Amino acid sequence: MNTKKTEKLLMTAIFLYLLIIVFPFIWVTLTSFKPESEIWGSSALKLFADRPTMEHYEALFKAQIFNSLKNSLIISSITTVYVTFIAAFCSYAIARLQFRFKKILLAVILATSMFPQMIVVGPIYRVFVNLGWTNSYYITLPYSMITLPVAIFILITHFSKVPKEMEESATIDGASKLTVFFKIILPLALPGIFTAAIMTFIGVWNEFLLSLTLNSDAYYRTATVAISFLRGQFQIFWGQVTAATVVVTIPTLIIVILFQKQIISGLTSGAVKE
């Protein structure tokens, strides 16, 4: 009985915790279907709209939010491919090869991910201005710098878990390091690579500060920045803001729902040493 009661209490606590986390998104989604008149005053406390409308979503077409979504998709995809490719080689070298100052190199790589983004925005902005790279897709370069350490950290555990006997056996048979990497190590580390790619994509998709600073032109704005410009001279168009928030959140939500097993597998499979 005690065990059953404990399980019920635990499940209730988990349900309440998830409800608290999900409720803001539910509220934003339902608010996006409310007319502007119902978003303010006593009607704002109602969960469901009295007169549901799609006017806020229609207004997003005029606000060019979908051009911003295109920018976010391009920038996130380019960064993800580049970071995953580089992180795979770096992680393999750190996990499997022996060279001097390896631990120091790993410490430096991980230390770069601990710096607050505010510290590096200024220097990066000055470099971009001098090179003429502002308002362009070159923003993928600083995004790569920010997300690469985390991707390396995720992949190192997976490369370390691959049995060395398999690599040694292939080497004895005459396989080169690159052959071993692509035909043996890489396939076995696919869960980690998949996880690193998804985490990188979501991290870049949700980033705000660098995009706001480096891509101020409306044509190159990402979706998260475009939402902050949905305002007039004296008011903020909260209906459009909530609708844009839903539209921007849907891609990452779909990715997490479709690939949740791979994400969990990738995050946990390298954590237990067999």
> What are the pLDDT tens digits along the chain (274 aa)?
567 788 888 888 988 988 888 888 888 898 889 888 888 766 667 888 888 888 888 888 777 788 899 999 999 999 999 999 999 998 888 888 788 888 888 888 878 777 787 888 889 999 999 999 999 999 999 999 899 998 998 888 888 887 888 877 877 877 777 888 888 888 888 888 888 999 899 999 999 999 999 998 889 999 999 888 887 667 778 888 888 889 888 888 888 888 777 777 666 664 444 4
| Partners of residue 231 on adjacent β-strands | 236
Task: Give the domain range for residue 158.
Answer: 65-268
211 assigned to some structural domain? yes
Looking at 177-269, list the stretches that DSSP marks H as alpha helix, in order from N- to C-terminal side: 177-180, 186-188, 190-205, 209-214, 223-228, 238-258, 260-268
CATH number at residue 128: 1.10.3720.10
Those residues with Cβ within 8 angstroms of residue 259's Cβ, 6 or more apart along the chain or in another chain? 194, 198
16 assigned to some structural domain? no
19 assigned to some structural domain? no
Question: Residue 138 half-sphere exposure, CB side, CA atoms within 13 Å?
Answer: 13
233 assigned to some structural domain? yes
47 assigned to some structural domain? no
31 assigned to some structural domain? no
Structure tokens at 37: 């008149």
Number of domains forming the structure of the chain: 1
Element (H, E) at 88: helix 65-96
Structure tokens at 199: 């985490």
20 assigned to some structural domain? no
Q: What's the CA gap between 154 and 270, in Å, rounded? A: 8
Contact indicator for 167, 180 with CB cutoff of 8 Å: yes
pTM over cut 0.75: yes
Element (H, E) at 171: helix 164-172
pLDDT of amino acid 42? 65
CA 55 to chain centre: 29
| 3-class state of residue 163 by DSSP | coil
Element (H, E) at 109: helix 102-112
Q: Could you write out the DSSP letters of every residue in 35-84?
A: -HHHHSGGGGG-SS-SS---HHHHHHHHTTHHHHHHHHHHHHHHHHHHHH
| 3-class state of residue 116 by DSSP | coil
88 assigned to some structural domain? yes
What letter represents residue 9's amino acid? L
Q: What's the CA gap between 159 and 144, in Å, rounded? A: 21
Q: What's the CA gap between 171 and 168, in Å, rounded? A: 5
Those residues with Cβ within 8 angstroms of residue 104's Cβ, 6 or more apart along the chain or in another chain? none
